[in-house]
Structure 1
């Protein structure tokens, strides 16, 4: 019996990732002569038997077997790590695949939406083409309407007279042509009075005096928007003017609480807003008038303060004329009149005249407005009395205007006598060095008139303040037809104390100031539409 000492080492590898054939391959790669047999017990579990003989030096010592086992374990661990890395890579690839599928789905939806939009666009293009084909027919209809409305042989006034609510039934075409005014915008006012529009750097502004403060609006995107507040109370009038490229705004402050002796400020444009520049002492100031005179020494600039005096005073009131000295206005002359509400300047044959609308004298409205003439034959021009307008009445404004080479004045009568607001306001025509009555038109407590022209046609808007029972009275637009003014359109207004006309694009705008003390009152802007024929 041969005695051998056998050492049998059983290695059991159990794994789900590495099968028996892989392990066998690793063992064979080692080319170890001690490998005797392999018996697979079941799937993924194999037993490897190593026999070590003390007489077989080829098998080495037991330490050699341990080294072999360690080496095999290291190889198996590396295989497992490689498999884990492969699984991670496959997982990432799956995420990428899922993301690509989402993107493909989104792109498909986008393509579907684009297709739907293209179908809508094709439908719109078809509608546009149909509209373009109808333009010649529409142009023919427009021409037919224009011929009916504006043909000289038709009675224009009967064709276009508007209802009293100011509704607009005809819009002008082919640039600006007379149509009708319709409501456009409200401007909040509280005891509003005179308004003024003006341009600074081609931008239009509107100054609106109020009892509490004066508000500056700026024309933006087709409407007036709030721009600046001037915190001067009880302002009745405002005047804009420019001197040597500088812009100014003069406010006529009526009183301070109950004191009519106060100061009226002048504001100057600083490039961004108006800031106070100068103050001038005034008494019951109601309006300013800026005018320029070409004297022997060149152009000279003047500012006339229209004073209305105390509330129920009598006698004459000083209207102060100030002259620009290059930096400020300094008083140079005073003109004594009754209580004056408005002054205006105009030229006839290179002669400059100033009209004074006199409202009251010695507590009576039976007064006459006056005309003064500026003498320019000396280095320092002066203002001298020229004539008195013949028809008496409490005047709130004397408004000059020109048409076809003729000079007219409208004396806006608020009260014919001390009790009635119904009056006939006279329109004068300059003839042979004086003004003669040309026509009278009915007014109701009128406070202002605004002449304007559209394509050579003359219009005259009258701001009616009140009658004997109510402040809700229509203001009236007149049109000059066959050498006389005839009623053209009525607009609903409340306590209208002023009117102002301005143009923007192909449209004409007419504003009426509201003098009501109702906190919710508003001044109204009306618009006469125009359009350019395609």
Structure 2
């Protein structure tokens, strides 16, 4: 300190102060001169700055100026201004990270995290564990019609986007971009009775596929769109024959790209084939690879457990009843084979997730229609766990839901959550959708109840502004974004 402190009578006087039990050095001038010392005077027997060196300090700053090159600690080459190492502090303001800043440190005072620049982005070194405190209403998003699905995705060098599957064919569907900390309409795409969107990439190409009911040449078709880099828009790329398509799932196995569609029904027949398509790298098109018999298919999900690849379908209705089985398939010898049939009741969604090395599947059960019976909407949805001994999924927990249409799994710090889309209880679409927190042996317990109207789909996403949830409404033009407040 004697090497670093200014001599007596210097323009930057110093004094010892105490604040809440901590003693420190105050630089009294309005613009404090930097404290510095030459390494050669300290490390007299070293020709290089040591690879392991500790400097412990507590810095208390009343206000932080957001200057791009302001450091609270830096190491420079002696005799020059060439920066070797620097530590910046800001109030949640992310400084630039490029090759010039590679190896530099940044401390986020608000987020309580320490990051290092790798030449492209800031990578986490230390981060305080966040916990969900409460959920607040953040944005009212008025879409062009009722919205049956939202898909949140990123495009490199462009930012965060959201695709809304709008029900009304007259208005089409909207692509929204995260601008000024909210979603703003970016592009409108002509769709017919859009049910869902799926984003995927192949090599460096970015695609969106919509499950919709385009009628061309006497058949129903869904459309794949590709991101056009020069025009910065999605443009039509390929159409595929589908039958009242409800959902698409994209996945890769052994460097091969696949798409699978959930064909719900053909005319009045619900027991039809859903189709797996495979990308042909020569023709640059998707081609039929395999068909699987489904009953009112509503959703596909792909997941892996160790070296094994799985597909699970949500079968909703077989033409008589919703009390039917949904099927889990496993990839064997170049195709999907039946792995397990799971009892479901009007299944509309599967959500695979892992917690502490354990693998789970949550199914959303929507409606109980016995054979030629009356409908019941308030029924249990179920979380299944993979039993490694029996190599089957077994019932782990039943959760009462109300015509559940979607599950979304998300994390905040070390905490794990499920949020359900409750859409209807038989008399009203104004229902609370519920956030459940993982509590180990107790399973998932309710912690937040969110007022929703005709809730159809949940998506979670994160930006520099924080963590968020967005839900779409199948009964209103109003979709909503919620902010997850942490502590």
Task: Compute the TM-score of the two structures, normalised by the length of structure 2.
Answer: 0.69
Q: Is residue 277 of structure 1 aligned with residue 237 of structure 2?
A: yes
* Runs of 4+ that moved beyond 6 A: none
Output aligned runs, 1:434-473, within 5 Å.
434-473=392-431
Q: Does 1:301 align with 2:257?
A: yes
Matches of 1:415 and 1:303, distance apart in 2: 28
Q: Distance in 2 between matches of 1:452 and 1:176?
A: 13
Q: Which has the higher helix share?
A: 1
Pairs aligned (count):
351
- Matched residue, 1:156: none
Gaps of 5+ in 1: 1-130, 134-172
Contact 2:362 2:384 in 1 (8 A): yes
- Which residue is equivalent to 1:199? 154
Deviation at 1:514, TM superposition (A): 0.3
Q: In structure 2, what is the equivalent of residue 182 of structure 1?
A: 136
Contact 2:131 2:414 in 1 (8 A): no
- After TM superposition, the structure 1 = structure 2 runs for residues 76-475 of structure 1, keeping only pairs within 5 Å, are 132=62, 176-189=130-143, 190-202=145-157, 203-211=159-167, 212=169, 213-254=172-213, 256=215, 261-271=219-229, 272-294=232-254, 299-310=255-266, 313-314=268-269, 316-326=271-281, 327-375=284-332, 377=333, 381-389=334-342, 391-417=343-369, 418-431=374-387, 432=389, 433-475=391-433
Separation in 2 of the partners of 1:180 and 1:505? Answer: 18
Contact 1:219 1:225 in 2 (8 A): yes
Task: Give, in angstroms, the shift of residue 174 of structure 1.
Answer: 5.8
CA spacing shift, 1:411–1:510, aligned 2, 3 Å: same
Distance in 1, Cα, partners of 2:404 & 2:383: 14
Q: Residue 147 of structure 2: SS of its match in structure 1?
A: coil
Q: Secondary structure at the residue paired with 2:366? A: strand
Q: Deviation digits for residues 72-97 of structure 1, max 9, x if unmatched?
A: xxxxxxxxxxxxxxxxxxxxxxxxxx
**Is the partner of 1:309 in helix, strand or coil?**
coil
Question: Which sections of structure 2, spanning at least 5 residues, go unmatched?
Answer: 1-60, 64-126
Distance 1:502 1:280, change over 3 A: same
CA change 1:260–1:405 in 2 (3 A) is farther
Find the aligned partners of 1:227 and 1:373 in 2 and give their Cα distance.
39
The answer on whether the counterparts of 1:314 and 1:363 sit within 8 Å (CA) in structure 2 is no
Quote the residue 1:485 is aligned against.
444
Q: Deviation of residue 350 (structure 1)? A: 1.2
Structure of higher CA gyration radius: 1
1:512 aligns with 2:466: no
Aligned partners of 2:359 and 2:252: how far apart in 1? Answer: 19
**Post-superposition shift, 1:317?**
1.3
Q: Is the 8 A contact 1:176 1:507 kept in 2?
A: no
Q: Give, in whole Å, the separation in 1 of the partners of 2:206 and 2:344.
A: 38
Q: CA deviation at 1:244?
A: 0.5
Output one character per residue of 1:317-374: Cα deviation in whole Å (capped at 9) or x when no partner. 1101111001010112111110011000011121000000010013311112110111
For residues 405 and 219 of structure 2, the distance between their equivalents in structure 1, rounded to whole angstroms, comes to 24
> 3-state DSSP class of the match of 1:415?
coil
Q: Aligned partners of 1:314 and 1:363: how far apart in 2?
A: 11
Q: 3-state SS of the aligned residue for 1:193?
A: strand
Contact kept, 8 Å, 1:238 with 1:249, in 2: the verdict is yes
* CA shift for structure 1 position 219: 0.7
Q: Distance in 2 between matches of 1:192 and 1:473?
A: 17
Q: Distance in 2 between matches of 1:260 and 1:488?
A: 50
2:419–2:435 Cα contact (<8 Å) kept? yes
Identify the structure with the greater strand proportion. 2
2:11 matched to which residue of 1? none
Query: How far apart, in 2, do the equivalents of 1:255 and 1:490 lie?
Result: 37
Question: What RMSD over aligned residues (CA atoms) do the two structures have, in Å?
Answer: 2.4
Separation of aligned partners in 2, 1:530 and 1:488: 14
Counterparts of 1:249 and 1:470, CA distance in 2: 33
Q: Secondary structure at the match of 2:132?
A: coil
Shift of residue 481 of structure 1?
1.1
SS of equivalent to 2:323: coil
Secondary structure in 2 aligned to 1:367? strand
